[in-house]
Every structure is written in structure tokens, then in C-alpha cells.
Amino acid sequence: MTAGTDAEVEWLVSPGLVPYEAATAFMAGRVEAILAGKASELVWLLEHPALYTAGTSAKAADLIEPGRFPVHRTGRGGQFTYHGPGQRVVYLMLDVRARWGDVRAYVGALEQLIIETLARLGVEGAVRQGLVGVWVRRQEEERVRQDKIAAIGVRLRRWVSSHGLSINVAPELAHFSGIVPCGIREDGVTSLADLGLAAGMGHLDRELRGVFERRIAPTRPLAMDVPALVSPHV
């Protein structure tokens, strides 16, 4: 593994809906290739069909409707979350030791990546002490509510990351009701569309890449064909 802090990161945007099992298999193979020095770091942007994932801290009681969508147990950190059409999923296969040296610094960098990207779209995102992810503060009549707009869940293998983050662009927010998202019961979830913004997936992608290149590393288009295993399914 030879990646340094100035090394270019490959960048891939997959159209359509990528099956979750195919995505995790591809990520695992890519991580092994990075560790062997046979592939560059990669950021992969995609959408999944409607599904729930359970991280290593997931509690059975937080799966409210187990038969609603497929449930995938995964090795990433965190609890239950939802993925589905209209949500941008960003999988990052990066050399965390070379770039940050610490997993907490890496997670913090992802939070700041999201916050700055949202700011470019006109949304003020914020972190919450003791919690992972990005929230939007919304004034209600009796209180200020904090709704989650982006989730983070990562996994490291010998310091190379997989999994990553998700940002709600225009998913069906009612689909989150089948779980307790990230274990948070007192507040809700939101999206760019729910906030009244017309920014689509392509707009988000452009801003995200610009912020990534400014804060983390230069990028280049993926230099290999995506295996048929992860070819998009609509």
C-alpha cells in the first residue's frame, strides 16, 4: 500500500440502483487490491434499492418493521439505517492511516466534507456532541428539532476504509419509519427535497467532488471497468 496524502483518488458515479450484496463484494475486493498495492484509493457514488442495514452496534428493538424491506447485516460501525432511491450513498476506500492517522479524525473529516457540501447547496448542517452524522436544526412552535440529513458508518481493514456515508437528496422519508434510524428516537430525518431545495443528485455530486478535492485529495475518473457484478439495475 503506497498511497500518500497527495495521491490521486479514483472517482466513480454509478447510474441506476446497485444491489447491496454486489456493492459490498466489490468494496471488499477493492480494499484487498489497495492493500496489495494493485489498485488506487476509490470514492464510489451510487444508489441502492430500498433496504435496511444493521451496523455492528444495531439493536434488535430498533428494527420496527423487519418484513418491510430486506435487512443486511454489515461490518460497518453504527446502528440501523435506510438506503434507497433518492439517497446518495458514498463508499470511500481510502488509506486512513496515511491521510488521517486516526479513525476519529477520519470520521470528523467526513462530517466536515458533508457540512461544507451542504453549505454550497444552501443548507446549514451541524454535528451533535456524542453522535455521528450531520443534522439540520429546524424550529418548531415549542422547540428546536434536529433532523438527520446524513449518516456515516465506516469499516477499516488494516487501515483501509470501506462503507462511508449517505446524504438524503430526495428519498421517501416514510421508509425510515421501519427502523429507529441510528438509534435516535427523539428527532427525525430530513432531505434536501424536504427542506424545499430543488438540488438534484448531479448537483450534489459536483459540489461533493469539489469539496473532496479541496479538503482531502485530487481525483481522477476510475481507470478500470466496473465488473458485471455491480452493473446498475433499475
pLDDT at 183: 62
Q: Span 160-164, mean pLDDT?
A: 97
Residue 58 appears among annotated catalytic residues:
no
Query: Is-above-0.85 flag for pTM?
Result: yes
Per-residue pLDDT at 233 exceeds 60: no
pLDDT at 185: 65
**Burial per residue of 112-135, b for 16 or more beta-carbon CB atoms within 10 angstroms, e otherwise:** bbbbbbbeebebebebeeeebbbb
User: What would the DSSP string read from start to end of 13-56?
Assistant: E--SB--HHHHHHHHHHHHHHHHTTSS--EEEEE---SEEEE-T
Cα–Cα nearest to 37, from 125, 120, 158: 158
Domains of the chain are: 9-223 (3.30.930.10)
Question: Cell for 66?
Answer: 423487519
**Mean pLDDT, rounded, of the chain:** 90
Confidence of residue 145 (pLDDT cuts 50, 70, 90): confident
pLDDT at 4: 58
Per-residue pLDDT at 223 exceeds 70: no
Q: Work out whether strand 71-73 and strand 51-54 pair parallel, antiparallel, or are unpaired.
A: parallel
pLDDT at 8: 95
Q: Span 87-116, mean pLDDT?
A: 97
Q: Among the options 39, 46, 50, 182, which is catalytic?
A: 182
C-alpha to C-alpha distance for 16 and 231, rounded to whole angstroms: 9
Per cent of the chain over pLDDT 90 is 72
C-alpha to C-alpha distance for 208 and 134, rounded to whole angstroms: 15
Contact of 182 with 80, CB cutoff 8 Å:
yes
Sheet holding 144-157, edge to edge: 134-139, 144-157, 160-168, 87-93, 42-46, 9-13, 219-221
Cα–Cα nearest to 227, from 9, 64, 26, 67: 26
Per-residue pLDDT at 1 exceeds 70: no
Cα–Cα nearest to 115, from 226, 157, 107: 107
pLDDT at 50: 97
Cα–Cα nearest to 27, from 44, 51, 9: 44
pLDDT at 139: 77
Contact of 137 with 173, CB cutoff 8 Å:
no
pLDDT at 173: 95
Q: Span 128-139, mean pLDDT?
A: 90
What is the per-residue pLDDT across 62-74, written as a single tens digit (0 to 9) for each? 899 989 999 999 8
Q: Span 127-144, mean pLDDT?
A: 86
